[in-house]
Structure 1
């Protein structure tokens, strides 16, 4: 696959405005959305994400890694913080105020780190979905120290694997820039362009594979919760059972909601966008611009993941809530409604949910 006006795939080079200033057959990809609206939105994300994830990291430092869930969440916090630190470079590039050196840095490092952490988050959300499914279907399943060690090793392996996958994109983006107007692909060696193509396919497999895993897990969780709530309604008032069932689903399915909102639109938008960049494809200038803007807008939704993840920590992790309340000197009683294991919920359903929270 040859690179045309804008690089596609996991290390999309639309971070820098020079790629947009280039045209495919004279088609400009400049627009107020890219140079004004999205930089403002990314600035808001940067402030919120840095604040929320900084607080989350401080809280998690006080929580021992006593479950798979907490280990996965700690990895996501690290990934979100690294992603957040790439936002200022994207803001500068998209708003057309970045220097030459900054644009080169974006091509060689910043965009690589952004997508590295994006797919780290996708993988760990897939693992969280598997863990939630396991605890729903087998609530009595224990967690040994040996198993925790294996999960920590798995987490390290995931980071090492994706770093090894992305590192060549940094090393092989080594050509000397001779023009003030360049695309990131202009900085890549011939081997770098080939490796970039490999990374695109691998990351597509990562996303679609995790999407399948997440859907299957939450279908199984839904079936198990339906069975438990049906037994609950046979012993309690229908209205009371329905209210508590809704409360359970609102929290447990938060992971699914974040995954769908943040990652699905971007990966669906990238398919037609990538096709529009391939040689020989019949797309006019307006269609290319529309697909480009759609891809960049949904990429912002993927970045929104860094702000929404703290909601998962708060609503689904009792240890996080407790430690947060202690840190902020807040009484847990003020947020009792967030819990799904209180009240008069039938014992069987409560046991299935208790460890999830």
Structure 2
């Protein structure tokens, strides 16, 4: 993935700019209370809460067999979320300047790449989940039109390998030595590394926007199909309709809150990192915009466990069991009966 998960300050570029540009870059410092204090504190909160919630999610998913496409997709997302959360301490220490100077190099070369790699893994699997939920809505009893578990596992592994090999050059091609104590990640890239950075960035834009279209389109059709089903059966179950609204809103909200702002900000920011066309003030403004929207993207690692809880009955049941929380049998029976009668596919209740 593109490595624009940067250190807190800008430094001298790789000697390719003229004297005026070099002077401008020297004076174009990104150090501020916002970058060195506020964002590290926000990421610290995300790390503590996110690691706890995702650790619990991993614990729960280990108790659930992979007997449906839905569960396999969710397990891939929780792995991606754990890996993303583990990159936060490196960014916290580097941006707050509490770690050694070389830590900034590690952030540029390794942990930022892992961060973006896991972000797009999550985006892809949410797209696959949307397709799976749509198929379960339109053809709830037709298993012939859904992928077998073996093919789902092969598809999942292929997605990880594809994004890994797309991300790997961003580690390898960031081999330049820091030319100053204050530098930006682009300074560490080779000439081809900068070009690869831009190419992968635009590829990631395609991945995001195509999956956003899939998620939005699928859930619009799911909602339409479910309400048509209510109308055909003349169901007066307002609670079921409310559940549909919550589940549809929850999935779309994660995409629009966490990912859309960042992907609007990412293209101009990447251009500011890979070209010399931007003045210092605009470069700093784009950096602040990117950092703010990047934090929203990081928030995805904390919101995903909520999606597991509300959309996956198996996850919810296993969580209650592991925490020794009892559910009134009559209430559970009524809820399960409603799921069976109304065949609401937004919530997985097949296991």
Provide the TM-score with structure 2 as the length reference.
Answer: 0.87
1:280 aligns with 2:280: no
Instruction: List per-residue Cα deviations over 1:40-60 (Å, max 9, x = no partner).
Output: 110000001111111111111
Query: What is the SS of the residue equivalent to 2:345?
Result: helix
Query: What is the SS of the residue equivalent to 2:143?
Result: coil
**Residue equivalent to 2:2:** 10
User: In 2, are the aligned partners of 1:35 and 1:96 still within 8 Å (CA)?
Assistant: yes
User: In 2, are the aligned partners of 1:273 and 1:288 still within 8 Å (CA)?
Assistant: yes
RMSD: 2.8
Instruction: List per-residue Cα deviations over 1:248-280 (Å, max 9, x = no partner).
Output: 221244222212211111111224434555443
User: In 2, are the aligned partners of 1:136 and 1:353 still within 8 Å (CA)?
Assistant: yes
User: In 2, are the aligned partners of 1:39 and 1:95 still within 8 Å (CA)?
Assistant: yes
2:315 to 313, 316, 320: 320
User: In 2, are the aligned partners of 1:82 and 1:114 still within 8 Å (CA)?
Assistant: yes
> How far, CA to CA, are the matches of 1:131 and 1:75 in structure 2?
15
**Residue equivalent to 1:267:** 263
User: In 1, are the aligned partners of 2:215 and 2:252 still within 8 Å (CA)?
Assistant: yes
Matches within 5 A, 1:1-357: 10-14=2-6, 16-19=7-10, 24=25, 26-142=27-143, 147-232=148-233, 234-236=234-236, 241-274=237-270, 278-281=275-278, 285=281, 287-333=282-328, 341-342=335-336, 347=341, 350-353=342-345, 356-357=348-349
User: In 2, are the aligned partners of 1:341 and 1:354 still within 8 Å (CA)?
Assistant: no
> How far, CA to CA, are the matches of 1:221 and 1:132 in structure 2?
8
> How far, CA to CA, are the matches of 1:336 and 1:143 in structure 2?
33
Tell me by how many angstroms 1:108 deviates.
0.9
> How far, CA to CA, are the matches of 1:223 and 1:146 in structure 2?
24
User: In 2, are the aligned partners of 1:247 and 1:340 still within 8 Å (CA)?
Assistant: no
Query: What is the SS of the residue equivalent to 2:63?
Result: coil
**Residue equivalent to 2:21:** none
Instruction: List per-residue Cα deviations over 1:92-119 (Å, max 9, x = no partner).
Output: 1111223122111111101010110011
User: In 1, are the aligned partners of 2:66 and 2:72 still within 8 Å (CA)?
Assistant: yes
Alignment size in residue pairs: 338
Q: Which moved more, 1:147-156 or 1:196-205?
A: 196-205
Q: Which moved more, 1:42-51 or 1:324-333?
A: 324-333
User: In 1, are the aligned partners of 2:310 and 2:347 still within 8 Å (CA)?
Assistant: no
User: In 1, are the aligned partners of 2:265 and 2:289 still within 8 Å (CA)?
Assistant: yes
Instruction: List per-residue Cα deviations over 1:53-77 (Å, max 9, x = no partner).
Output: 1111111111110011100000011
User: In 2, are the aligned partners of 1:20 and 1:29 still within 8 Å (CA)?
Assistant: no
Tell me by how many angstroms 1:188 deviates.
1.8
Q: Which moved more, 1:41-50 or 1:138-147?
A: 138-147
Tell me by how many angstroms 1:194 deviates.
2.1
User: In 2, are the aligned partners of 1:169 and 1:195 still within 8 Å (CA)?
Assistant: yes
Measured at CA, do residues 21 and 322 of structure 1 come closer, stay the same or move farther in structure 2, by a change above 3 Å?
farther
Instruction: List per-residue Cα deviations over 1:293-317 (Å, max 9, x = no partner).
Output: 2221111110011111101111111
Tell me by how many angstroms 1:13 deviates.
3.9
> How far, CA to CA, are the matches of 2:83 and 2:348 in structure 1?
27
Provide the TM-score with structure 1 as the length reference.
Answer: 0.86
Q: Which moved more, 1:203-212 or 1:176-185?
A: 176-185
> How far, CA to CA, are the matches of 1:133 and 1:118 in structure 2?
23
